[in-house]
Amino acid sequence: MEFLDYSVVIAYFIFSFGIAIFYARRAGKSTNEFFLSGRNLPWYLAGLSMVATTFAADTPLAVTELVAKNGIAGNWIWWNFAFGGILTVFFFARLWRRAGIMTEVEFAEIRYSGKPARFLRGFRALYLGLFINIIIMGWVNTALASILTGLFGIPEAEVYYYVFACMLLVAVYSALSGLWGVVVTDAFQFFIAMGGTIILAVLVVNSSPIGGIAGLQERLPDFAFNFLPDISSVESAGGAFALTVTSFLAYIGIIWWASWYPGAEPGGGGYIAQRMMSAKDEKHSLFATLFFQVAHYAFRPWPWIIVGLCTIILYPDLAADEKRLGYIYAMRDFLPIGLKGLLVAAFLAAYMSTIATQLNWGTSYIINDFYRRFINRNKDEKHYVTSSRVTTFILMILSIVITLMITRITGAWEFIMECGAGLGLVLILRWFWWRINAWSEISAMITPFVIYPFLLHYGISFPNTLFILVPVTTIVWITVTFLTKPTSDEVLEKFYRKIHPGGILWKKVSDKLPGVKSDGNFLLMFINWIFGVVLVYSILFGIGNLIFGYYAEFLVSVALSFISIIVIYRNLSRKGWGSVIQ
């Protein structure tokens, strides 16, 4: 790094803090402003913020590792979540905005009744806002540490001082500006991060060791460019992303709907729900979520994938657990003065957007759903905003402690996915089946933790653990549902009047409320889901086909994309589905 590089990084920090200072007064007005931007976000800002948050410092490294080990198809480990993401767009985005709540866990007390509902709200506030949240921030910190070590050669004993200094800066601007500052900064950070990664991909693939896309294709085996996994046999795959039939079913047929995972929650949740609830109205909520799904799965990965393929040639001696470092070495070896500073700023932007969201989102649960609900209920808004700012720094300190304990990022991913195995179906059905109660969610959250130690004892590893965790958890929560009392009629009717989800599984309640009509057409919602999935994958594969010169396949992808857009547009325009397009 030269003087110009450091100047770029410093300019980035100055601009980010300028945004935070600008929004500080607005954020201090109320918790509604601090956590939900006054429910006035336009769809493009809400959508960009979702994309920026999921673009963490570890994401390009993780994709590089997947591609270097198993080719492009290795990305199906996370591409499969698009099925659930599109389900959220058409079945849940408008419902979240309609609920009028501040956090996802507040949902417990508008949908369920009695002490179980109160317990669920408080428990999920601490479980998600504290326990899961600091694990997520811990692995993002660990990824940034890897980047700084690989790029600057900072010794491992010292690198975390730099990471924690960055985190302190993020905590300051997050505490100052609330969600408005976080979202606007996210948009700025996203364009820096994407611009930097695209520039890196272009420079690396066109370097003399690679020789452009043609040179890349000549020097790598054909399997590296396969978009789909090999499910025939692991032995004959030759390094491709090969899955047994059962593993393929786990990735494609189970994980996306059955497992809870941050940013890909079945039915929406976490910071995705926070952005949906912050949107101007239901239309903005839906379009923000649709934009997020397309950008997240289809547009964003390709610069990382290209660099990942190049690292197979450039750094062939990297051990399996070091493949992710190839991305950092590419930055170090191929970026000229000035652009190296831009890429460092891009990674800091990716890191800061994720940490800022996690701090704001986690704080919203702890303050709104635990502190204000159960500890200190009758204070003014200024008190709760101040408490939120203090809690932001407490979360920062706790995440630092967890960071020092994490040794393997992918291990943290797998652990969180296993913790939520079997919970997804409850999160989906709680909107559309009156019989789901608070005990359904509670039992679904607890069961994986009871079963998990036995799986470890018998040496069952991920993803095969899901074939045990998901069915056992499902059987447990369904059994518990029918053995416990249903939610009170009063709460069910109030929920139905407010949300009017419709559907045959609400018939017991809807028959009592003939004047409340659902504006959701389930057939059209299902069709939109199918074509939404086609839209995401056709754009994803279309971009890849264009990059690698498969022009016939590219034209097919373009045609599928246009057909999907037309079908979705026409369906959203129909009055029977709420006339989202107006």
Looking at residue 238, its pLDDT comes to 46
Q: Which pLDDT score, from 0 to 100, does residue 159 have?
A: 87
| Same domain flag for 214 and 88 | yes
How many domains does the structure of the chain reveal? Answer: 2
Last residue of a domain, one of 391, 409, 427: 409
Give, in order, the Cα–Cα distances in Å from 184 to each of 1, 23, 178: 28, 9, 10
- The overall average pLDDT reported for the chain is 88
H or E element that contains 326: helix 325-334
Q: What pLDDT does residue 169 have?
A: 87
* Domain identity same for 61 and 206: yes
| Amino acid sitting at position 492 | L
Contact between residue 170 and residue 362 where contact means Cβ atoms under 8 Å apart = no
**One-letter amino acid of 257:** W
pLDDT at position 235, please? 41
Q: Is residue 251 part of a domain?
A: no
CA distances from 95 to 183, 213, 405, 499 (A): 22, 45, 39, 6
Q: Are residues 46 and 175 in the same domain?
A: yes
Q: Residue 233: beta bridge partners?
A: none
Whether residue 124 lies inside any domain: the answer is yes
Residue 82 lies in a domain: yes
Contact between residue 269 and residue 275 where contact means Cβ atoms under 8 Å apart: no
Bridge partners of 279? 41
- Per the domain annotation, does 512 fall within a domain? no
Same domain, 220 and 363: yes
pLDDT of amino acid 466 = 80
Q: Is residue 105 part of a domain?
A: yes
Q: Is residue 242 part of a domain?
A: no
Domain boundary (409, 443, 458) is at 409
Q: Tell me the residue range of the domain where 529 lies.
A: 519-582
Decide if 349 is inside a domain: yes
Is residue 536 domain-shared with residue 388, that is, in the same domain? Answer: no
Q: What is the 3-state secondary structure (H, E, C) of 283-307?
A: HHHHHHHHHHHHHHHHHCCHHHHHH
Q: 76 lies in a domain?
A: yes
Give the tokens for residue 57: 């410092």
Whole-angstrom CA distances from 440 to 298, 424, 482 are: 35, 11, 9
Residue 461, SS3?
coil
Distance CA 490, CA 506 (A): 14
Q: Which of 182, 133, 186, 112 is nearest to 365 (CA)?
A: 133
* Amino acid code (one letter) for 19: I
Judge if 180 and 323 occupy the same domain: yes
With H, G, I as helix, E, B as strand and everything else as coil, classify residue 41.
strand
3-class secondary structure, 499: helix
Instruction: Name the burial class of residue 3, with classes exposed (0-12), middle (13-18) and buried (19+) by CB atoms within 10 angstroms of its CB.
Output: exposed
Listed as ranges, residues in the chain with pLDDT below 70 are 232-251, 406-413, 463, 575-582
* Residue where a domain terminates, one of 409, 429, 450: 409
CATH number at residue 322: 1.20.1730.10
Identify whether the C-beta of residue 341 lies closer than 8 Å to the C-beta of residue 87. Answer: no
CA-closest candidate to residue 404, choices 228, 79, 142: 142
Note the pLDDT of residue 480: 97
243 burial (CB, 10 Å; 0-12 / 13-18 / 19+) is buried
User: Residue type for 520, please?
Assistant: G
User: CB burial class (10 A; 0-12, 13-18, 19+) of residue 359?
Assistant: buried
Instruction: Please list, in sequence order, all residues whose beta carbon lies within 8 angstroms of the beta carbon of residue 262, skipping any fewer than 6 positions away.
Output: 132, 136, 270, 271, 416
- Number of Cβ within 10 Å of residue 2's Cβ equals 11
- Give pLDDT, residue 99: 94
